[in-house]
Amino acid sequence: MSVKQFEAQGAPHHELVWILLLNSAAIVCGIFLLRGSSWARWLALAWMAGHVVLSLFHSLQEAAVHLLLFFLIAYLLFREDAKVYFRATAPKSSA
């Protein structure tokens, strides 16, 4: 959706800023997840938790789907195989 289309719907500009920030967070999260940064796991979980909260204002079915996806993502990012993957790229101590 373009900015003009967004404005035509009567939405305030601060909502557009939030949408851009959340989309940017998702992109940054994806890049750093692929690079093996452990903090990106938490950002991904926080991003998905935000979707769960927002979906509570819509239908119960949407909230249930987002909650299911939240638990699936949490499981995949924090199981033992994933912990090894994210630990392997941690910076090594020089001591």
Nearest to 73 by CA among 36, 50, 46, 45: 45
With beta carbons less than 8 A apart as the criterion, state whether 41 and 77 touch: yes
pTM: 0.68
What are the tens digits of pLDDT across the range 20-79?
A: 888 888 899 899 999 988 899 999 999 889 888 888 888 899 999 999 999 999 999 999
What are the tens digits of pLDDT across the range 10-23?
A: 667 777 787 788 88
Cα 34 to Cα 86: distance, rounded to the nearest angstrom: 10
